[in-house]
Amino acid sequence: MKKTERFLIPAAMAVCVAVLLLFIGFLQKSGKISKADIKTVSHAVTSVTDMSQMEEGDNSMVKRLYGLEPGKYNGTVLYYPTSAATANEILIVKLTDIKQQDEVKAAVEARLAVQKKNFNGYGVGQYEMLQNSVTDISGNYVLFAATKNAKAADAAFQKTL
Amino acid sequence: MGAEAMTFSSLIFLFAFFPISLLLYYLVPQKAKNTALVVISLLFYAWGMPKYMVLLAFSIFFNYFAGLGIARSKAADKRHAALTYMVIATVVNLLLLGFFKYDGFLIENINHLFHLSLTYTPLPLPIGISFYTFQALSYLFDIYMEKAPVQENFINFAVYVSFFPKITSGPIVQYHDMVDQLTHRSCDLVKFGEGAKLFIIGLGKKVLLADGLNTTFTAVSALPANGISTLTAWVGCITYTLVIYFDFSGYSDMAIGLAKMFGFDFAKNFDYPYISESVTEYWRRWHISLGRWFRDYVYIPLGGNRNGLAKNIRNIIIVWLLTGLWHGAAWNFIFWGGFYGALLLLEKFVLKDFLPKIPAAVKHIFTMLMVMIGWVFFFSPTLPSGLLWVGRMFGIGAPAAADAAGRYYLTQSLALIIIGAFGATPAAARIGRGISAMARGKYRLALRIVSCCLILVLSMAYMVNSTYSTFLYFKF
């Protein structure tokens, strides 16, 4: 065996294992099942967010804005803008099965695309806020936060799971 | 997992993926054929679960380097280094399989045993992980045991691990059986035709028989086990016995047929197992590639039958408990493996002088009875529910010998049960060959083509009207 091979082969195997471990870590995070109550999660998120420009939406509003059927999930919480001039929005979905992650993610992406189109060239601050919005899929929970401090909302969300 | 995994019996595979793949494969120059196969195979695997492509890529890269390590160490006469590479690579492969397949089972049992509350994240089982891990292990063992030369070409090795006809449910092709075909293979019109015929027969088995019978089995298995009559329990057991055979052997036929159309020759995976006259014979005919894998890489290296009776019994028990565990992370699968281990020991050591004196029909009935009881543990979600079902089959705790539900499901599936039972024997193929032999010259070929077209059209008609149907062995 050449000297280079003596070093390179175990190194390549170690790199493969390192990538595998990173991937497993990612899967663990995205597949984590939280027993937290959606009300607790919602309370944690709203307590760090300026809610003055949002009001709570019911199931029909979730369906109207996101095209999601709330009955399919373990729970949904929606806060949507009180006026058409703002884009503040929070959606929390507790999934019944992590296989639903993709459909909820697609619905959030579609809603975000619509809002970006609505505010592009119209409300610079609102558009920027949408640009900095957070979509966090963590196991059986999904958070969409289009707020001024979306990162804080996400941190509070993660902490309660 | 997002979308469903691609299956051979889906319209998207038959009308888009397969023809495009075939076209691509035959259009590219000879040198690029294996690269084309890797691209096609990765796309096939990524279809339903792109995330898990990382695992397949890991298996390809990691085992490629491990194989080089073993071979280079052997060439330099460093046996200890070669053994170290082989052991480390085997452990990593088994840990990966164990993590995705057995973590929940292990943690739940530890919690139960030690009154702990350890948690784990339940992850979907990556399709085909048991199959491609066993193939990667076959590569490592073959290199270590010098049954085959190391694969220096990365693309050729990637074809061996990922070749799409066998990646999701086998057959588990051992490396030394495929190594030459990775570089030298050909496909003429006759071989292509044989492959197409095998594929269509497999499709018919899956769509017309397995899926048809599965409707009854699904309905019966949804009934509460403690309330079913003896008749219903038997209908459930008989339909599952046929469903699993036509589902898995149909898949294997399709896989072998597809491989043929790309120039590969794989050995058969089923050989009419339900005509067996002993459990030993049955396991020589059922899932042949898995049996061979355990024989070549576990049973023989452990010593097989060479080191006395006690060690032979130990080796048989180990192989069968592992076979059970390979099928699933649950006590009923381990019990199922142990059940077969016990039967094989009985036949090999206790009944060996007695069996030849028993009439063939009695031996066949006894074998099928054992196989069917085995399937009850296989389809039952837990070991106690399996025991309950077997009890109902023999009237233990059954509310009635026959009830309206049992009669209804029997009537619903009787025609398919008869066709299936007949189709599971070589008689059906023999009649087909007999009819074909009556035709002469070009009419014989025409008759064969028309028969295949008929099966294909009928299968497609069923597929158009049915919902997504996966294969039972995808979950292993």
The pLDDT tens digits of the residues spanning B314-350 come to: 999 999 999 999 998 888 899 999 999 999 999 999 9
Using a CB–CB cutoff of 8 Å, tell me whether B356 touches chain A: no
Residue B99 sits at the chain A interface (C-beta within 8 Å): yes
> How far apart are the C-alpha atoms of B188 and A150, rounded to whole Å?
63
pLDDT of B121 > 80? The answer is no
Asked whether residue A12 falls in the same domain as residue A61, the answer is: no
pTM of the full structure:
0.80
Test mutation, A20, A30, A104, A138, chain B, max B CBs within 10 A:
A20
Q: Say if residues B229 and B392 touch (Cβ distance below 8 Å).
A: yes
Same domain, A15 and A73: no
Residues A84 and A116 in one domain: yes
**Is the pLDDT score of B255 beyond 60?**
yes
How does pLDDT run across B293-308, given as a tens digit for each residue? 999 999 999 999 898 9
Residues of B in contact with A10 (CB under 8 A): 69
C-beta atoms of B68 and A9 within 8 A: yes
Contact B65 A17 (CB under 8 A): no
Q: What is the structure's pLDDT at B476?
A: 60
Instruction: Give me the number of domains chain A comprises.
Output: 2
Residue pair A91/A112 in contact by the 8 Å Cβ criterion: no
Give tens-digit pLDDT for A66-118. Answer: 999 999 999 999 999 988 889 999 999 999 887 788 889 989 999 998 998 88
Of A19, A28, A33, which is closest to B58 when you measure between CB atoms? Answer: A19
pLDDT band for position B3 (cuts 50, 70, 90): very low
pLDDT for the residue B1: 37
- Domain identity same for A3 and A37: no
- For B108, the enclosing helix (H) or strand (E) is helix B79-114
* Nearest alpha carbon to residue B426 among B270, B240, B289: B270
The residues facing B133 across adjacent strands are: none
> CB of B138 within 8 A of CB of B441?
no
User: pLDDT tens across B54-81, in order?
Assistant: 999 999 999 999 999 999 999 999 999 9
Identify whether residues A24 and A5 lie together within a single domain. yes
Q: Does A17 lie at the interface with B, CB-CB under 8 angstroms? A: yes
d(CA B375, CA B213): 15
In the stretch 252-281 of chain B, residues with CB closer than 8 A to chain A read: none
Q: Which residue in chain B has the smallest CA separation from A14?
A: B62
If one compares B116 and B317, the residue with the highest pLDDT of the two is B317
Count of CA atoms in the C-beta half-sphere (13 A) of B310: 0
* Span A5-13, average pLDDT: 91
pLDDT reading at B2 higher than 50: no
- So what's the pLDDT on residue B444? 82
The residue in chain A having the minimum alpha-carbon distance to the alpha carbon of residue B77 is A1
Judge if A20 and A42 occupy the same domain.
Answer: no
Residues A20, A38 within the same domain: no
Question: Which segment, A111-115, B106-110, B114-118, B171-175, is predicted with the most confidence on average?
Answer: B171-175
Q: Is the pLDDT of residue B361 over 90?
A: yes
Q: Measure the CA–CA gap between A56 and A44, rounded to whole angstroms.
A: 15
CA-wise closest residue to B469 among B14, B11, B73, B111: B11
Beta-carbon count within 10 A of A7 CB: 10
Are A11 and A58 within one domain?
A: no
Active site (annotated) includes residue B112: no
A22 with A66, same domain: the answer is: no
Q: What part of B 51-70 touches A (C-beta under 8 Å)?
A: 51, 54-55, 58, 61-62, 65-66, 68-69
Q: Contacts of residue B2 in chain A, CB cutoff 8 Å?
A: 99, 102
| Tens-place pLDDT, residues B164-194 | 999 988 799 999 999 999 999 988 999 999 9
> Does pLDDT of B404 surpass 70?
yes
Q: Which long-range contacts (CB under 8 A, 24 or more apart) does B53-56 make?
A: B54/A19, B54/A20, B54/A23, B55/A20, B55/A23, B55/B96, B55/B100, B55/B126, B55/B129, B56/B126, B56/B132, B56/B161, B56/B162, B56/B167
Say if strands A134-138 and A141-146 run parallel, antiparallel, or are unpaired.
antiparallel
B171 residue type, one letter:
P
- Judge if A26 and A68 occupy the same domain: no
Q: In the prediction, which pLDDT does B79 show?
A: 93
**Which domain, by its residues, includes A22?**
1-31
- Say which range, B279-283, B452-456, B471-475, has the weakest mean pLDDT: B471-475
**Binary contact (B123, A16; C-beta < 8 A):** no
Tally of CA atoms within 13 A in the half-sphere of B135 that contains its CB: 28
Q: Which of A12, A19, A31 sits opposite B65 (nearest CB)?
A: A12
CA atoms of B455 and B61, how far apart (whole Å): 41
Q: Are A78 and A93 in contact (CB under 8 A)?
A: no
Q: Taking CA atoms, what residue in B is nearest to A99?
A: B1
Do A27 and A37 lie in one domain? The reply is: no
Q: Is the pLDDT confidence value at A120 over 90? A: no
In the predicted structure, residue B468 carries a pLDDT above the cut 60: no
**In this predicted structure, which of A97-106, B151-160, B214-223, B320-329 has the lowest mean pLDDT?**
A97-106
Instruction: Specify whether A64 is located in the same domain as A142.
Output: yes
CA distance A105 to chain B (A): 11
Complex prediction ipTM: 0.82
Size (chain A), residues: 161
Record: contact A9-B92, CB cut-off 8 A? no
HEC assignment per residue over B138-195: HHHHHHHCCCCCCCCCHHHHHHHHHCHHHHCCCCCCCHHHHCHHHCCCCCCHHHHHHH
